Structure 1
Amino acid sequence: MDVVGLNRRERRVLFGEAKWTREPLTESVLDTLIDRSNRWLGGDTSWDVHYALFGRGFGQACGERSRTVRERAGQEPGVYLFSPADILKT
């Protein structure tokens, strides 16, 4: 976990992970981030939780049945993906 943004008053939190490797990020990176964030929150489900992944690309793990990280981010609210081009736009 590389980034944590916290708004205690609104009980909103953003957890982020940056992986600038040449290989595309897979779902396992998001799963690990979610697991670590759950431990960080200590089981408190009253928070509005968001996740951000920063990477050069977003791919698919080995296996036909796995989704790409982009597909998953499109299906799950609160998951955001940022490439270097996205960061340079701001």
Structure 2
Amino acid sequence: MADILFQAAIAITLLALVITFIRMLIGPDPVSRTVALDGMTIISLSVIVWLAFWSGRGIYIDVALVYGLISFTGVVALARYLERGL
């Protein structure tokens, strides 16, 4: 039963990733594309954490943390650039 729930959760998560990617491609302005990119990184983080749980390897949690920090820094830099330039 738990396997079916995990498979359904990953399917829904991957569907959300595809929808967010489409939103990033057709976004009307750079700000909405930036928000969609940030959403994609958050969804990707959840996929990495799910893989860590499923495989039983804790190193993937560290990868997800580093990826999250780099993503946050990139989004802040991009938002600053879009707001008033570097």
Higher share of residues assigned strand = 1
Instruction: Give the TM-score taking structure 1 as reference length.
Output: 0.28
The normalised TM-score by structure 2 is 0.29
Q: Quick one: higher RCO (CA 8 Å, sep 6+), 1 or 2? A: 1
More helix by share: 2
Bigger Rg, structure 1 or 2: 2
